[in-house]
Every structure is written in C-alpha cells, then in structure tokens.
Amino acid sequence: MKQLNFFKHNKSFYSVIFLTLAIFMVSCKKDSDKKDPGNIEIEFDNIAVVNGIERQLTLVSPGSTDYGYTNGMSQTFNINLLRYYITNIKLEGPNGEVFTDHVHVSSSGTEGIYLVDEAQPSSGSVILDNVPAGEYNKITFTVGVEENGVTEGAAGGNLDPATCKMFWNWNSGYIALKFEGQSNVSAGGTTGTETLEGVTKGIAYHIGGWKTIDGTAFVYNNKTMSFTFDTKAKVEKGLQPAVHMVFDVIKLFSSKNLIDFTGNNNVHKPVDGKPAAENIPGAFAFDHIHQ
Amino acid sequence: MKRKIALLIGATFIIFSCGKDDVVTKTSPYSLIRPDYFPEITYPLENNPITKEGFELGKKLFNDPRLSLDNSVACSNCHVKGVAFTDPQHNPSVGIFNQIGTRNAPMIANMAFQSEFLWDGGVSHLDFVPVFAIENQKEMGEELHHVVYKLNKIPEYAPLFKAAFPGIDTITSPYMLRAISQYMLLLVSDKSKYDRVQKGEDVFSASELTGKAVFDQKCAACHSGALFTNYEYMNNGLDLVFMDVGRELISALASDLGKFKVPSLRNIMLTAPYMHDGRFKTLDEVLEHYRSE
C-alpha cells in the first residue's frame, strides 16, 4: 500500500525516467554518424644503424671492453644504460583530428609522462587511450620533463625520485636522457648510475636542463619534435594501430654535433649536455605503422 | 519480503560501517599563517595540504637517523631545533662516518615563503631539499630508494603514513618528502621583537633604533624585507680564489662564480657560525669583515 502511494505522489518520477530515456536516445542518434574513440600505440624502439642496417641494441655490463658500436668520429663504444622521458604527446590528422595526451603529476602517480628504459623492453610501448576516431599522420612529443614536473612537488609513478634514477638532487629536476657506457678512447674517471668510479673508459651523458632563469646562461635541454607519417594511422573503437618510432643511438652522438668521447665525456650538468641534447631530435625518426 | 528487508538493513550497515572507517582515517588540518608583512607563500599548499598527522610524521622523519646510510645522521643532527635549526657544534657540519661537509648548515625557517633553496639555490621546490641531504655523500650518504625500503621495513611507520595520507598502501618517496615538507613549512619565525614592532605591539629602544639606522643604510640593500633577504646571489668579498664555485654550479654563468644566496638574518644570534662555509664564529667577526672590506 505504501509502495503504491509512493508512485501515486511521484508523478514527476516518471517524467524524470522519460526525460532521461529521451536524452539517451537523442545522444545515441547524434553519435551514430561518429565512430567511438579508440587506442593507439606509440612504440619507441632504440636501435643503432651499423653499416646501414638497423640493429636492436645490446646492453653490456659496466666495464665491458666489448665495443659493438662506432660513433661519428670512428671511436668505438658500448652501452650499459639508456633511459629517456617522453612527455606531451600530441597527435594530429589531415582532417583536423587532434589528440593531446593528458599530463598530470601527483604524489600517487603520473599520467602522460613515459620513461623509456632499454633494459625494460615493454617500457618503450606507450598506449594512448580514448583517442578520438579518425586518421592521424603527425606526432609531436618532448624528450624531457618540463618545469611543472618539479613545481608540482615530490611526485610518484614515473617521476618518483627514489625509483626513476633520473633525478638530479643537487639541481632539482629530471634528467631528460641518460646514457652510460664505455669507449676505447675514454680516459675513464667518469661516474654514473652504473658506470661507477672504478670503471675505466667510462662515458656518461646525463642530459637535462628544464629551468629557464632570466638573464643567465642556464641551459634548457628538453627537446620537442614533430614527425609526419608517410601513411595514416586509423583510430576507432576496436582498432589499435601501432606507430613505430626509432631512436638511433649512433645519431645521439652525430646528428648535429659530433661528440668526441675523449673529452667532455662525464656529463652531469645542463651546459655540458647541450651538444648531445641538440642531437636528440635528429636521433628520432618515424619508421612505420602497423594498422 | 522479510528477507528483503533484512538484506536492506544489512546493506545499510555495510554502508554505515564504510562511512565510519572513513571518519577514522580523516586527517586534521593545520594552517600556515602568513603575517601580513611577510612575502607571499610560494609553496603550492593545494598539492600538499598540511595536517596534524602529516606534520607529526614529518617531524619524526626529520629526527630519524635511519634516513642516513649508517643510521647515524638525522636531518636534526645539523639542523638543531634549539638554535633555529642550524648546527652550533660543527664548522662545517659532520655527516656519516664523521665526514666533514663543505658548507654551513643553513637555518630552516620560513621555508614556505622562499622559492630557491640551499646556498646555491639549486633546489627549486621544498619537497626536494631533503633528497639533496639524504643523497649527499658527505651528509647522509643514502640512496632515496633505500631509505624508502627501510621505512617500509620499520613497523611503526606504516600506520603513521596511512594516517597522514589516507588510502596509500605502501610508503613511497613522494609521501615521505611531502611529510617532511609539512613539518618544515610550519617552522615559521615570526615572534621576534622585530615582529612585535611590525604588529604595533612593541617599540624599538633608542639603541635598537640606532642599530636599525645603520642596518638600513649598510645592510638592507641585500638583507631586505621581513625575511631579511632579497633572495639574490652575491659575492660578499670573502675570497679571491674560490674553493666552492657556489651559484655558478647551477647557473653555468661565469659571473656567478663564488656567489651564494643572501641568507635570512632572522635568529642571527643563534645561528653561528656564519657565512656559507661557517668561517666566522661570531657576529663581531662578520661585522669586522664588512667593516674592513
């Protein structure tokens, strides 16, 4: 009886249900000529072009004298560690499609800040979700963490200073790209995360610098770059195209400036990392798309 | 029907008990009060609201020597509460394995109103100041990830972290650093006679006024405002050859060689020794340096 009364006195209840249904139907109709958003994978693959052939990288233990690579000055070297941050990913298409990856920093984690680590192959795969349906043929991204990575305060996730191995405590901020290895021409004495003090022939390039101080020579070393695809990546619900980007470690030392491993090979501050930082955009390239 | 009612009552209980748990994990806010003659607060408090639980946890961490490699050096070793969080005993301060540091432990006060920290201003957010000291080989010599590992192993910390940051299940570095910041943010120096005069509660004596006149003429260009610093980096003529490059390390600017941050003069009678390397033991020596320059 009570129940009956409830409905009797609540005619507006039915109206609400009806209106809600109506709204749903209208929105369904609107959406019907538009496809639902989907995912897209951006794959960052670290390679070295040796004798014109793209090869996957081989990491060796610190101190190894097994030199598998040659820089632009015919100096041989090997690699212990390669890590870099990718942030601010933006995708664009020929018909006005735009997707800007959301970047958020907090103590519980980070969004839109990716740490690619050669020692962890899965870290090179960035899956962007909720990308508006459409065709995309251009990507823009930044290598390095912008100043808001510092001004937001101590952060978790990929920016956790305890685990990321990319934090400069003396000049607080994040290293954009960290490379360590050995070269036959290095006199040694370098320090790093893996290339420690006793290691002979070490080379360490900790490339960073995110802060602009007016009127000083403070070096901003983050690099933002864009690449156009020769084909289009088609995104919609149910499709997950993969855009394959490559980073050529040889070009990190030669694309714009020739890096000489005999000197300035223990890089730990922004100004020292500037020449190698300027090589970063030239070391990345668009390779192909798996639709 | 009865069963349905029973179920409904059961469900209500569950909902209520959930609510009760939330009440238990609620934090009690603390406020940071800025005297109106102070500079603006620079710390983004909205990202790290200060609570009683966070402050107490930060205080415990600040005083815990387990944050150092050999469990011997807490933040409070070199930032001693009774002397405005400076180090009165050592010159410069002593870190792990009794190593002598290179710079004089600076006062910790009014951190909420500053935007660059340490003598060279290299750290531009308060949260990251402890990382410098923890990872400095001559200070606490630890690695941040290992401090976090140790804290997760110490049973007393888990409930304190959960109370300060409801909802977390493991201790990670951002929570540790934010708790220490909460403690440091509330170390506000605003109860000196200068402050009472600013608030109109007291007046300077005749000799204090004489001192103020000299200070305003000779010192206040750099030691300006309510915090007695213009936040700039200056070379005050201590050396011709620099053992410590100072600000140049950060700015990479040759003209910054040997420059250090202008320190606040609050609590100055308590914060001996003086200068970035603690070379002067008394204020008289400091004044003599400036007098003879």
Q: What is the per-residue pLDDT across B179-192, written as a single tens digit (0 to 9) for each? A: 999 999 999 999 99
CATH of the domain at B157: 1.10.760.10
Average pLDDT over residues A256-277: 93
Q: Looking at the structure, do residues A247 and A275 belong to the same domain, yes or no?
A: yes
- When divided into structural domains, chain B yields a total of 2
Q: Looking at the structure, do residues B197 and B173 belong to the same domain, yes or no?
A: no
Angle at A200 between CA A197 and CA A204, to 5 degrees: 65
pLDDT of the residue at B291: 87
Q: Looking at the structure, do residues A21 and A95 belong to the same domain, yes or no?
A: no
Give me the residues of B, 223-282, that contact A with CB < 8 A.
249-253, 256
Of the residues A169, A210, A211, A267, the best mutation for testing chain B's interface (the one with the most B CB atoms within 10 Å of its CB) is: A169
pLDDT in tens, B85-101: 998 877 778 888 888 88
Of B124, B136, B253, Cβ closest to residue A172: B124
Q: Looking at the structure, do residues B80 and B208 belong to the same domain, yes or no?
A: no
pLDDT at B23 over 60: no
ipTM exceeds 0.85: no
pLDDT in tens, A63-121: 888 999 999 999 999 999 999 999 999 999 999 999 999 999 999 999 999 999 999 98
Question: What sign for the dihedral angle of Cα B80, B83, B89, B95?
Answer: positive
Q: Which helix (H) or strand (E) holds B53?
A: helix B52-62
Q: Is there a contact between A209 and A177 (Cβ–Cβ < 8 Å)?
A: no
Q: Looking at the structure, do residues A96 and A23 belong to the same domain, yes or no?
A: no
Residue B216 lies in a domain: yes
Pairing of strands A173-183, A242-248: unpaired
Q: Looking at the structure, do residues A22 and A45 belong to the same domain, yes or no?
A: no
Question: Confidence band (pLDDT; 50, 70, 90) for A7?
Answer: very low
Of B48, B136, B250, Cβ closest to residue A153: B48
Question: What sign for the dihedral angle of Cα B112, B117, B121, B123?
Answer: negative
Q: Which helix (H) or strand (E) holds B7?
A: helix B2-24
Taking each helix axis as running N to C, give the angle between helix B52-62 and helix B157-164, from 0 to 180 degrees, rounded to the nearest 10.
140
Identify the closest residue of chain B to A274 by CA–CA distance.
B252
- When divided into structural domains, chain A yields a total of 2
**Which token pair is B119?**
């003598």
CB contact under 8 A, A162 and B123: no
Q: Looking at the structure, do residues B180 and B222 belong to the same domain, yes or no?
A: no
Q: Domain containing B69: what range? A: 45-185
Question: Confidence band (pLDDT; 50, 70, 90) for A51?
Answer: confident
CB contact under 8 A, A150 and B128: yes
Q: Looking at the structure, do residues B137 and B165 belong to the same domain, yes or no?
A: yes
**Which token pair is A119?**
């020692």
The single residue listed with the structure tokens 């060689």 is: B257
Of the residues A104, A105, A107, A272, the best mutation for testing chain B's interface (the one with the most B CB atoms within 10 Å of its CB) is: A107
Question: Confidence band (pLDDT; 50, 70, 90) for B25?
Answer: low
pLDDT in tens, B92-129: 788 888 888 888 999 999 999 999 999 999 999 999 99
- Cis omega before residue B35 (within 30°)? no
Q: Looking at the structure, do residues A261 and A192 belong to the same domain, yes or no?
A: yes
A113: exposed, middle or buried (C-beta count within 10 Å: 0-12, 13-18, 19+)?
buried
Q: Looking at the structure, do residues A125 and A24 belong to the same domain, yes or no?
A: no
CB contact under 8 A, B144 and A161: yes
CB contact under 8 A, B131 and A167: yes
pLDDT of the residue at A199: 75
- CA-CA-CA-CA dihedral for A52, A55, A60, A66, to nearest 10: -30
Of A154, A269, A271, Cβ closest to residue B173: A154
pLDDT at A13 over 80: no
CB contact under 8 A, B132 and A169: yes
Q: Looking at the structure, do residues B180 and B217 belong to the same domain, yes or no?
A: no
Could you tell me which residues are beta bridge partners of residue B214?
none
Of B131, B181, B252, Cβ closest to residue A161: B131
Could you tell me which residues are beta bridge partners of residue A38?
A131
Q: Average pLDDT of chain B?
A: 90
Q: Which helix (H) or strand (E) holds B260?
A: strand B260-261
Q: Looking at the structure, do residues B54 and B180 belong to the same domain, yes or no?
A: yes
Residue B2 lies in a domain: no
pLDDT at B9 over 50: no
pLDDT of the residue at B15: 42
Q: Is there a contact between A76 and A67 (Cβ–Cβ < 8 Å)?
A: yes
pLDDT of the residue at A2: 43
Residue A1 at interface with chain B, using a CB cutoff of 8 Å: no
Our CA-based measurement puts residue B143 at a distance from the nearest CA of chain A, in whole angstroms, of 8
Q: Which of B134, B169, B185 is the last residue of a domain?
A: B185
Question: Confidence band (pLDDT; 50, 70, 90) for B293?
Answer: low
Q: Which of B185, B215, B249 is the last residue of a domain?
A: B185
Q: Domain containing A219: what range? A: 38-290
Question: Is B270 in a helix, a strand, or coil?
Answer: coil
CB contact under 8 A, A269 and B177: no
Chain B residues whose beta carbon lies within 8 Å of the beta carbon of residue A217 = 251-253
Q: Looking at the structure, do residues A78 and A199 belong to the same domain, yes or no?
A: yes
Q: Looking at the structure, do residues B181 and B204 belong to the same domain, yes or no?
A: no
**What are the backbone angles phi and psi of residue A150, rounded to the nearest 5°?**
-95, -45
pLDDT at B6 over 60: no
Q: Which helix (H) or strand (E) holds B6?
A: helix B2-24
Q: Which helix (H) or strand (E) holds B261?
A: strand B260-261
Question: What sign for the dihedral angle of Cα A26, A29, A33, A39?
Answer: positive
Q: Looking at the structure, do residues B235 and B157 belong to the same domain, yes or no?
A: no
Q: Looking at the structure, do residues B84 and B175 belong to the same domain, yes or no?
A: yes
Q: Which of B151, B185, B219 is the last residue of a domain?
A: B185
Q: Looking at the structure, do residues A99 and A21 belong to the same domain, yes or no?
A: no
Of B123, B124, B173, Cβ closest to residue A160: B173
SS (H, E, C) chain A: CHHHHHHHCCHHHHHHHHHHHHHHHHHHHHHCCCCCCEEEEEEEEEEEEECCEEEECCECCCCCCCCCEECCCCCEEEEEEEEEEEEEEEEECCCCCEEECCCEEECCEEECEEEEECCEHHHHEEEEEEECCEEEEEEEEEECCCCHHHHCCCCCHHHCCCCCCCEECCCCEEEEEEEEEEECCCCCCCCCCCCCCCCCCEEEEEEECCCCCCCCCCCCCCEEEEEEEEEEEEECCCCCCEEEEEEEHHHHCCCCCCCCCCCCCEECCHHHHHHHHHHHHHHEEEEEEEC
Q: Looking at the structure, do residues B136 and B233 belong to the same domain, yes or no?
A: no
CB contact under 8 A, A150 and B124: yes
User: In angstroms, what CA-CA distances link B252 with A20, A273, B248?
Assistant: 63, 12, 5
Angle at A252 between CA A251 and CA A258, to 5 degrees: 80
Q: Looking at the structure, do residues A15 and A91 belong to the same domain, yes or no?
A: no
pLDDT at A29 over 50: no
Q: Looking at the structure, do residues B165 and B71 belong to the same domain, yes or no?
A: yes
Give me the residues of B, 27-66, that contact A with CB < 8 A.
44, 47-48
pLDDT at B18 over 50: no
CB contact under 8 A, A163 and B147: no
Identify the closest residue of chain A to B132 by CA–CA distance.
A169
Of B136, B143, B252, Cβ closest to residue A271: B252
On whether the pTM is more than 0.95, the answer is no
CB hemisphere CA count around A169 (13 angstroms) = 20
Average pLDDT over residues B218-229: 96
Q: Looking at the structure, do residues B118 and B199 belong to the same domain, yes or no?
A: no
Residue B258 lies in a domain: yes
Q: Looking at the structure, do residues A144 and A212 belong to the same domain, yes or no?
A: yes
